[in-house]
């Protein structure tokens, strides 16, 4: 049974609350790894989830292939 991104992300939720910028860059690194390994389902799930990330700098948003106008919050 595949593990979803949200299941993986929930493990670091305490970390995420305390240092969001470091958390976002870590997940963007994971996204890059997923793309390199061809894990398209997980990379798509991360990209969709990133639309709801609060306070994501536009420089990092561009690494996730989303524009500020795409964000829902």
Query: Both tokens of residue 72?
Result: 């829902």
Phi/psi-derived region of residue 19, left when phi > 0, alpha when psi is between -120 and 50, beta in every other case:
beta
Q: Is the pTM of this model over 0.95?
A: no
φ, ψ for residue 57, nearest 5 deg: -60, 145
Could you tell me what percent of the chain has a pLDDT over 70?
63
13-44 pLDDT per residue, tens: 555 556 678 888 888 899 999 989 998 898 88
Which H/E stretch holds residue 11? helix 5-11
């Amino acid at each position: 049974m595949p593990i979803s991104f949200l299941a993986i992300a929930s493990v670091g939720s305490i970390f995420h609350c305390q240092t969001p910028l470091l958390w976002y860059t870590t997940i963007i690194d994971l996204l890059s790894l997923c793309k390199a390994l061809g894990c398209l389902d997980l990379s798509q799930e991360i990209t969709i989830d990133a639309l709801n990330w609060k306070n994501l700098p536009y420089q990092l948003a561009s690494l996730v292939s989303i524009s500020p106008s795409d964000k829902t919050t």
